[in-house]
Structures are given as C-alpha cells and as structure tokens.
Amino acid sequence: MEHMDIEKAKREMSRTVKGPMDLPFALLVILLNGIGLVMMFSASYAHAAANTSSPAYYVTRQGIYMVAGIAIMFVISRFNYHYFKPFSLPTMITALILLVVVLFVGSDERAAVRWINFGFFNIQPSEIAKVAVIMLFATMIAANPERLTEKRILPAVRNIMPYIAILALIAGLMAMQPHFSGIVLILAVGAVMLFMGGLAYRWIALVGALGIGAMTILITATDYAAKRMAIWRDPWIDLTGAGWQPVQSLYAVASGGWFGLGLGQSRQKYAYLPEPHNDFVFAIVCEELGMVGALIVLFLFMLLIVRGYWIAMHARDRFGTLLVSGVTTLLAIQTFLNVAVVTNLIPVTGISMPFFSFGGSMLLIQMVEMGIVLAVSRQLPAYTP
C-alpha cells in the first residue's frame, strides 16, 4: 500500500501541464492591475511632488513591481501545483521567524511595528504568513482529509488542535505588532479552509467563537484598539488627530457623487487625506470616478472572486480546491475590509486594497497568489486526461 502511495505521488509530481491557463481570471488580474496603477498615480502624484524628487516617484516604482509581478504570475502558472506542497512548511517557518524578527527590528509606523526594512525594499511578514497558512492548511488537509470529518469528540478535538495552534501562534505574534486586521484575515481564511476541508459546522462555530472572544479581549485590553474603536464610532471627536483620516476619506467619497470629479481632479489628495496612495486609494477612486466608477471597480473584483471560486470548485483534486479557495477568500475579505474602512463601516486598520494600494513587496506576493490559482486552472479535468 505504501509503495502504491509513493507511485501515485510520483505520478502527480511528474504530471505535465497540458491545459491553458484560465484566460478570464488572468485578464481580470491584469485589468485590475492596470486600473489600480492609473488610480494610484492619480492619488499619489501630489504627495510625491511634495515629499519626493518626482511626482512620478510612486507610480514608477509600482509600475516596475507590477510588470515583474505579472511575469512572476505567468512563470508560477507553468508549474505543476503539486510542487508547492514541499514548500508549505518552510514557508510557514519563514513567516513565523519574520513575525518574531519584526518585533525587534521592524520600522515603527503609526504606532504599529509591521515592516522589516531590507534597504532596497520593505516587507510585511504578515503577508507571507497569509500565504503560508493557505499552503500549509491545504497540504495538511489534503494529506489526511478524513481527520476533519471525525465525529467522535475527543479524536475530533485532537485532530483540529494543530490548526488552532498554528492560527493562535500567528495571531499572538501579530497582536504584538499590533495588526488586528491581519489577524481577522488569517483567522477567516483558516476557518474557510477548514470548512472546505470538511470540518463540521459545530467545530467551525467553536473556532469562530474562540477567535471572536480572543479579538474582543485584545480590543478591550489594548489602548491602541480601544482608541480606534472610539474614533470609528465618532471620528469627529478628534477631528484634528486620529479622526482626521476617516473624516477626510468620507469627504472624498461623498464629494464624488454619481459620476465623480473626473480622473486626476481629486481635491482630498492635496494634503487633506494622509497618504492617499496607500490604504485609502479607494476613497480617491470614489472621488474621481464617482459611485458609478467605484461600482465598476468592485464589479471587476466580484468577477475575479467568482471566477476564482469557480476554478476551486472544478479543480482536479482536494489540494487544488483548497489552494484556490484560500487565495480567493483572502482576496475577497481583504477587498471588502478595505472598502469598509474607507467608508467607515469598520475602524481604520492597516489593510490595503489588492492591486491598487502602493507597495511593491505586497503586490509581488499577491501576484504569486494569482499565479498559484492559474497553475491549478491549467490542470482542470476538462484540460487533462
């Protein structure tokens, strides 16, 4: 039996890529990258002109990373996605090491320590942790799918404890930064992958309750989070301080109306909305393109997310389904949370908008994730024997 399993694994690893990549998914990724670059340039040039040597400083750097990211996406899409399995544990170990290192050498930005500066670029360990959770959970669940469907209580608890331990360890390290939005993302992605792996509803509810309880304790026990919650409820209580950014974001969204002020015509980006090219770039989208333009952008994201789940549901095996489900869920939740922050539906957090917010290393990681989805799409049953 063991010999047969080894032979089966060898056949999986040696399978050549026969099908084409999923063209709708790839085109949507490229289209959103292009629109994101244009909007990031529009949002950033005033800030760049005032703080750097060139108004095109940010867009030039982001454009280089975008081209490199698209190339990386296509290269990764050529790999048999089963080759990613051996890298899942090393990726997780690397993420955990970086999450510890950032606490000691990370750069302090807006009362949070989340970035490691390597001189020529910055990297956010939480971004690597997101990919690591997806890869490791997919590998673990696919290797032992029957474990999550265990009905006996004690064996079931024992089987899900490794997953809970991994999520708790990452969440604990990220809470020390602090990075609460990143914790929400990772916990949500982990829960979705466990559900896709067959975990019963009652255990999903238990994991969710533990996560919500832990987040509640962190929020109530941390001055940083408590202040964010107070500003979220009424940003005008500290209009010239912590409430300035959410208020200016709301002004940008409201002033756009239905059809916007026109591309490049934003007023809030002129030293009103802090760093509009980062987490609040969608506010500039709303201001310049209006409600109609913003809805078109969100519609494109929706198409990409729906297509991602379609690929997941049609993957040839459980490992492929879990990989794509994890990546697509991460994309969906991150997009929703960013829009929710910009419109003040949730407290301000350091969460970026995929493909739109400035950040080279972050964009490269996102394009790696898109490449993984396309790698799975090349081996859909319709394309392979």
Contact 131/154 with Cβ under 8 angstroms? Answer: no
More confident residue, 71 or 243: 71
More confident residue, 385 or 43: 43
More confident residue, 279 or 147: 279
Nearest to 199 by CA among 190, 211, 210: 190
112 pLDDT above the threshold of 80:
no
Provide the pLDDT confidence category of residue 1 given band limits of 50, 70 and 90.
Answer: very low
- From residue 19, how far is each of 22, 83, 369 by CA, in Å? 9, 17, 19
Tokens of residue 214, six digits: 């832990």
The pLDDT score that the predictor gives to residue 329 is: 95
Identify the DSSP state of 351: -
- pLDDT, average across residues 19-26: 92
The pLDDT score that the predictor gives to residue 244 is: 87
More confident residue, 235 or 36: 36
- pLDDT, average across residues 345-349: 82
Task: For 88-114, give one letter per residue: b (16+ CB within 10 A) or e.
Answer: beebbeebbebbeebeeebeeeeebbb
pTM (predicted TM-score)? 0.89
Provide the pLDDT confidence category of residue 6 given band limits of 50, 70 and 90.
Answer: very low
Condensed to tens digits (0 to 9), the pLDDT of residues 157-211 reads 788 889 989 998 998 898 888 787 888 889 889 988 888 888 877 777 777 777 6
The pLDDT score that the predictor gives to residue 2 is: 44
Provide the pLDDT confidence category of residue 104 given band limits of 50, 70 and 90.
Answer: confident
The pLDDT score that the predictor gives to residue 109 is: 65
5 pLDDT above the threshold of 80:
no
Lowest mean pLDDT among 45-59, 105-119, 333-347: 105-119
- pLDDT, average across residues 208-231: 71
Nearest to 232 by CA among 221, 222, 224, 243: 243
In the three-class reduction of DSSP (H, G, I as helix; E, B as strand; rest coil), residue 107 is classed as strand
Phi/psi at 54 (nearest 5 deg)?
-150, 140
11 pLDDT above the threshold of 90:
no
Provide the pLDDT confidence category of residue 356 given band limits of 50, 70 and 90.
Answer: very high
Condensed to tens digits (0 to 9), the pLDDT of residues 286-325 reads 999 999 999 999 999 999 999 999 999 999 999 999 999 9
- pLDDT, average across residues 100-129: 79
- pLDDT, average across residues 223-244: 78
The pLDDT score that the predictor gives to residue 35 is: 96
Q: Which residues pair with 205 in a beta bridge?
A: none
| Mean pLDDT (the chain, rounded) | 86
The pLDDT score that the predictor gives to residue 215 is: 67
